[in-house]
């Protein structure tokens, strides 16, 4: 069997995801029109759609129909887009550039960006809860509860709080690891686990995917830190050298560039070990882990 080229797969998949997202985000005339425009601006065009691709790949292992896995992928991408819109606000990271375009609050205004993030968050859960996502109400409730846990105080938002509290403070690798596991790993973990939930897989498979996703997200975040130091602003579509300027403790400031590269490989290997039980079926998820290590955007 040939090798899987994840960037090529992602670019084909992105077009399909944009169609699904656009259908879930119809335009609206009237006084709330700007809200819909800001939501579309934030979620369409420019993202890699890596998290929905993880949902797609994981769910495909269990024979989940395309329409179901893409609705869950769309919900994950709405959450991701909301987190970026809020993260770019002046009160948080204060970033003017995202995906090579003005960030949402620059293209619109701060109030609209806050509301667009809030509305994407709500629309994600509405999408999961609708019967088209899965005929079984228990599966839909499981998806909603697992996503809520991944992005709340014990997940993404908790990680963001630790990030804020860690600015200009000397923290060690343990704190940086916990921060990244919550801020980035938790949504990756949900994305990988979603396939097992949709496919009503057995507990061992679900737990293996949960750990795989968490480790993958941690590796992704360390690569993100490396790209902030070594990456190309044009390819990334966002400002680089932000972390040092903001006085953030990153894996690079703690481990150095070579140490961080070794840590990424070690964590990716630990992620990959969780796929052994899937044999050949886990091939596409394995390719995603290798892509995360080599990505330049």
- Residue nearer to ligand GRG on the CB measure, 94 or 204: 94
In three-state secondary structure terms, 89 is coil
Could you tell me which stretch among 26-34, 52-60, 78-86, 246-254 binds ligand GRG (CB under 6 A)? Answer: 78-86
| 248 near ligand GRG, judged by CB under 6 A | no
- Residue nearer to ligand GRG on the CB measure, 95 or 142: 95
Question: Where in 209-238 is the site for ligand GRG (CB under 6 A)?
Answer: 221, 224
Among the listed residues 69, 70, 71, 86, the single contact to ligand GRG using CB under 6 A: 86
Show the binding pattern over residues 4-43: x = contacts ligand GRG (CB under 6 A), - = does not. Answer: ----------------------------------------
Shortest separation between residue 160's beta carbon and ligand GRG, angstroms: 4
Q: Find, among 121, 105, 103, the residue nearest to 113 by Cα.
A: 105
Cα–Cα distance measured from residue 229 to residue 276, given in angstroms and rounded to the nearest whole number: 33
| CB burial of residue 123 (10 Å; 0-12, 13-18, 19+) | buried
Q: What is the dihedral of CA 38, 74, 160, 50, to 10 degrees?
A: -110
Among the listed residues 68, 112, 184, 214, the single contact to ligand GRG using CB under 6 A: 184
Q: Which residues of 259-284 are buried (b: 16+ CB within 10 A; e: fewer)?
A: ebbebbeebbebbbebbeebeeebeb
Among the listed residues 13, 39, 40, 47, the single contact to ligand GRG using CB under 6 A: 47
| 179 near ligand GRG, judged by CB under 6 A | no
Q: Find, among 34, 221, 194, the residue nearest to 124 by Cα.
A: 194
Query: Is the Cβ–Cβ distance between 195 and 172 less than 8 Å?
Result: no
Show the binding pattern over residues 137-156: x = contacts ligand GRG (CB under 6 A), - = does not. Answer: -------------------x
């Amino acid at each position: 069997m040939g090798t899987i080229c994840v960037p090529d797969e992602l670019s084909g998949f992105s077009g399909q995801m944009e169609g699904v997202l656009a259908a879930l985000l119809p335009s609206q005339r009237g006084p709330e029109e700007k809200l819909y425009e800001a939501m579309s601006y934030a979620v369409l065009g420019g993202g890699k759609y890596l998290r929905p691709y993880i949902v797609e790949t994981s769910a495909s292992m269990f024979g989940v129909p395309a329409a179901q896995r893409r609705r869950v992928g769309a919900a994950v991408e709405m959450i991701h887009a909301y987190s970026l819109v809020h993260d770019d606000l002046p009160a948080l990271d204060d970033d003017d550039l995202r995906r090579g375009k003005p960030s949402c609050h620059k293209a619109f205004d701060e109030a609209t960006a806050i509301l667009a993030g809030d509305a994407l968050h709500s629309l994600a859960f509405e999408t999961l809860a609708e019967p088209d996502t899965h005929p079984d109400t228990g599966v839909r409730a499981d998806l909603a509860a697992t996503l809520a846990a991944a992005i709340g105080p014990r997940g993404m938002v908790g990680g963001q709080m630790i990030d804020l509290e860690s600015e200009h403070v000397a923290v060690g690798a343990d704190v940086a690891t916990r921060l990244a596991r919550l801020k980035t790993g938790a949504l990756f973990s949900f994305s990988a686990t979603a396939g097992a939930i949709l496919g009503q897989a057995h507990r061992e498979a679900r737990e293996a995917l949960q750990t795989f996703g968490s480790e993958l997200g941690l590796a992704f975040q360390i690569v993100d830190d490396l790209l902030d130091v070594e990456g190309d602003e044009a390819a990334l579509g966002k400002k680089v050298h932000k972390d040092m300027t903001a006085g953030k403790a990153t894996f690079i400031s703690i481990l150095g560039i070579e140490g961080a590269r070794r840590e990424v490989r070690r964590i990716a290997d630990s992620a990959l070990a969780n796929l052994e039980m899937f044999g050949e079926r886990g091939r596409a998820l394995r390719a995603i882990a290798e892509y995360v290590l080599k990505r330049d955007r």
